[in-house]
Amino acid sequence: MPGQLLAQLPHRFRMVLSLTILSLAILAGCSKAPELTQIHGFAQGTTYNLSFELPANATTPVSAIEKAVADELARIDKVLSNYRDDSAIEQFNARQTTEVLPTEPELVALVEAARKVSSASNGCYDLTIKPLFDLWGFKKDEFSPPTTEALVQTLASIGMNKLETIDATHLRKQIPELRIDISSIGQSYSVDRIAKILEQYGVHNYLVEIGGELLAKGKKPDGAPWRIAIEKPLPDERKLQKIANFDSGAPVALITSGTYRHFFDSNGKRYSHILDARSGKPVEHNTVSVTIFHENPTIAGAWGTALLCLGSKDGVKVADDHKLAALFIDQQEHELVEHETIAMKTFTGVRLQNP
């Protein structure tokens, strides 16, 4: 799920979050009307669920839409998966050279989108952080705090400033061993792409969800808004923290990043799987989740990871500076404390309510 990617989870190309770290689900009681078409499947190491209303004059069978969705997810996997040696991103990573390298335009575009967020987070978020996860043992889920010497050495091999964009189809590493990982925004990008597939078939009322990251547009067939449950960010509980009502019908992505399910305890201390690329160490703030509402799922994915890395103390200010609608949740002993950004308090696309 970046200057701080989340720990490597069993997603096909996602170390982290986002995966979204929070588990989101359509609330019980959603419309069961026959006009609501649903498609479910498995991709990128997680599940995907689409709920949508076919246009009244639709002639395309649902099976054709289902195939188009599966084909697009497979295509994205071939470009962005860090778990496939034949993917475009892993072919780029395998080339240990400082020569200009050709690559897929999607990869370049995602690098540039992430670069802006990385800069805004003062380097806390960084797509080249993967070697740090390996160093701390997150890759094999075997936590092992590194020595200071090893940490310093690894930090020298990461940094967005060491990755140069030449043009729309070419990148260049300034150090041969540089590697990039798109997992913090790859899944949210997939959400965006699948929504575009539905739009191509004339579908304008839909909810697209992949691994807990989602984009909603329009309304349900009965005219009711899409409603999404956001879990309490607690490791041992499955309770609701908020209910998001997508009242306006405008396209809005909901991306939640969290620390509360993936961590290690060692010698009486808890270590988050969220790493700060500036220090190379797990963050130590008490922010356990950040939920972003944004029209662009890809951008929301990057910001969710970046703001979680920063924590509420610094993250709220950064979010306010960029007019982001975000909900931070801190854990103070046994209490959960919410912090809303200015844009969240005035956001008209989604209404939050207590369960």
Q: Across the strands, what pairs with 229? A: 25, 243
Q: What's this model's pTM, rounded to 2 decimal places?
A: 0.88
pLDDT score for 134: 87
Q: Cα dist. 198→204, 222, 256, 350 in Å?
A: 8, 19, 23, 22
Query: What local confidence, expressed as pLDDT, does residue 19 receive?
Result: 34
Give whole-number Cα distances, 170 to 10, 109, 118, 138, 165, in Å.
Answer: 29, 10, 20, 30, 6
What is the percent of the chain with per-residue pLDDT over 90, rounded to a whole number? Answer: 73
Alpha carbons 235 and 242: distance in angstroms, whole number: 17
At residue 28, the pLDDT reads 46
Please give the residue that has the higher pLDDT: either 60 or 266. 60
Model confidence band, residue 27 (pLDDT cutoffs 50, 70, 90): low
pLDDT for 142: 73
What is the pLDDT at residue 269?
A: 64
- Mean pLDDT in residue range 297-307: 96
Q: Is the pLDDT of residue 23 over 70?
A: no
- Torsion sign over Cα 20, 310, 158, 274: negative
Looking at residue 11, its pLDDT comes to: 34
Hey, what domains does the chain have and what are their CATH numbers?
24-77+184-353 (3.10.520.10), 81-182 (1.10.3980.10)
Amino acid 270: pLDDT: 67
d(CA 282, CA 53): 43
Q: How confident is the model at residue 274 (pLDDT cuts 50, 70, 90)?
A: confident
Q: What are 120-175's pLDDT values in tens digits?
A: 999 999 999 989 988 988 766 677 789 999 999 999 999 999 999 999 999 999 99
Question: N- to C-terminal Cα distance for the chain?
Answer: 27
Is the pLDDT reported for residue 17 higher than 80? no
Q: With cut-offs at 50, 70 and 90, classify the pLDDT of residue 18.
A: very low
Q: What is the DSSP letter of 129?
A: -
The answer to whether 110 and 185 have CB atoms below 8 angstroms apart is: yes
DSSP 207-229: EEEETTEEEEES--TTSPPEEEE
In this model, does residue 6 exceed pLDDT 60? no
Judge whether 289 and 331 are in contact, CB under 8 Å: no
Distance of alpha carbon 13 from its chain centroid, rounded? Answer: 11
Among the residue ranges 142-151, 178-187, 244-253, 299-308, the one predicted with the least confidence is 142-151
Q: What is the C-alpha separation between 42 and 257, in angstroms, rounded?
A: 21
User: Residue 10 above 50 pLDDT?
Assistant: no
pLDDT band at 333 (very low <50, low <70, confident <90, very high): confident
Confidence of residue 49 (pLDDT cuts 50, 70, 90): very high
User: Which residues on neighbouring strands pair with residue 209, listed in sequence order?
Assistant: 49, 214
Q: What is the mean pLDDT of residues 209-227?
A: 96
Give the residue ranges of DSSP H helices in 201-296. Answer: none
pLDDT of residue 265: 62
Distance CA 186, CA 193 (A): 10
Task: Quick: pLDDT tens for 75-97.
Answer: 999 999 988 999 999 999 999 99
